[in-house]
Amino acid sequence: MSTIGWIFVLVIIATVIGGLYMLRKTANKMPIGEEQMKKIKQRQAELEAQERGRDR
């Protein structure tokens, strides 16, 4: 393989590794405010109550 081919392969590998690193670094960093968390828990409780009502 020519030198240009090897450079191209190295650039692709570096891009993939860099993308995976950035994905890992930014994962699970979604700050949720206290008010939003209350709404989420309330909605979840409502859905669970609906599901229990349907199961009867």
Query: Is the separation of the CB atoms in 40 and 32 below 8 Å?
Result: yes
* CA–CA separation, 1 and 53 (whole Å): 67
- Residue 14 CB burial class (10 angstroms; 0-12, 13-18, ≥19): exposed
Q: Residue 34 is which amino acid? A: E
pLDDT of residue 55: 67
Place of tokens 């190295």: 10
List the chain pLDDT tens, one digit each, 56 residues: 899 999 999 999 999 999 999 998 888 777 888 899 999 999 999 999 888 887 66
pLDDT of residue 40: 93
pLDDT of residue 31: 80
